[in-house]
Amino acid sequence: MKYAQSIAKQLFLLCYGAFFSTLCLAKVYVHHTYLDPQISHKLVAKHLPTNPIILEAGAFDGTDTLILKKLWPHSTVYAFEPHPSIYLDLAKKVAGVDGIYAYELGLANRDGNAMFYESTENGKPFMSGSLIEPKEHLKHAPSVLFKNQIAIKVATIDSWAKQQHLDHIDFMWLDLQGSELEVMQAAPQIMQTVKALMVEVEFVEAYKAQPQYLAVRHWLEGQGFELVATDFADYNSAKPKGKAACHWFGNILMVRK
């Protein structure tokens, strides 16, 4: 579930409502009042075919799904949103668009059913729902409430891909509110085929016992990926500092070496 609604202004998500970002390329930091989508697109596109298979997990209402399709007109985009009412918004938005397939399904480290912590803000479904119980998220975003749990269907990426007769994914965008690492670890077959990933990471225990930034990054490096960009400075630190650093979460772009 996304904190930012449009990669037209940023492929890398930003801090709540902040229209600024820091793009870190190797050891060079380029500051932007907002992150030009063409910069982000070029960083990803040079590692992908012109007709990539894209998996977007945490698609929310489909705004970014449509932009992904616009950036890669010949792509096939598989968009996942487990929250029932939000999924209806997603399905409505992408209805009739060739090459976009929406699923009311949560990606997880197992197949079956799971309890989902529903998030709301001002009485409306919000983007922070998770399979993991919230912890420091409650402190950092007190306006976001987690009053209810709902039952959802879940699957691993590998089992879903097998059902769809898919043997590879080119680009993954994972925004799973603390579940990113366990979802990737539960998909060893598909992960071997991925060329680039954008993954949301946290620098605090936003959700109970969740893996944080360095754990996610180091695991991906062990799988043959390298970090090429972030939306925060101090990218070797467990908790980036400074005005340009998102104070408790950020996003990383990693590509296959």
pLDDT digits (tens, 9 = 90+) for 189-239: 999 999 999 998 988 888 888 999 999 999 999 999 999 888 776 667 766
Q: Yes or no: is domain 21-256 CATH 3.40.50.150?
A: yes
Q: What is the mean pLDDT of residues 33-56?
A: 74
Among the listed ranges 67-71, 131-135, 186-190, which one has the minimum average pLDDT value?
A: 131-135
Buried b (16+ CB within 10 A) or exposed e, 157-176: bbbbbeeeebeebbbbbbbb
Tally Cβ neighbours within 10 Å of residue 77.
25
Q: Which amino acid is at 70?
A: K
- Residues facing 118 on adjacent strands: 148
- Residues facing 101 on adjacent strands: 78
> Residues 169, 21: contact at Cβ < 8 Å?
no
> Residues 107, 132: contact at Cβ < 8 Å?
no
- For residue 26 the two structure tokens come to 């190797």
Alpha carbon distances (Å) from 57 to 7, 140, 199, 206, 238 = 14, 23, 10, 19, 24
> Residues 69, 119: contact at Cβ < 8 Å?
no
Which pLDDT does position 58 carry in this prediction?
A: 92
Q: What is the mean pLDDT of residues 4-29?
A: 34
Distance (Å, whole) CA 117 – CA 132: 7
pLDDT digits (tens, 9 = 90+) for 37-47: 455 677 888 89
135 pLDDT tier (thresholds 50, 70, 90)? confident
- Residues facing 257 on adjacent strands: none
12 pLDDT tier (thresholds 50, 70, 90)? very low
The domain segmentation of the chain, as residue ranges, is 21-256
Distance (Å, whole) CA 93 – CA 82: 16
Question: What is the number of residues in the chain?
Answer: 257
Q: Evaluate if residue 153 carries a pLDDT over 90.
A: yes
What is the DSSP track for 114-130? EEEEEEEETTEE-S--B
Distance (Å, whole) CA 254 – CA 194: 10
Which pLDDT does position 103 carry in this prediction?
A: 98
Q: What is the mean pLDDT of residues 148-172?
A: 97
Residue 17, Ramachandran bin (φ over 0: left; ψ between -120 and 50: alpha; else beta):
left
> Residues 206, 136: contact at Cβ < 8 Å?
yes
Which pLDDT does position 44 carry in this prediction?
A: 83
- H or E segment to which residue 68 belongs: helix 63-71
> Among residues 73, 76, 103, 98, which one has the least CA distance to residue 88?
103
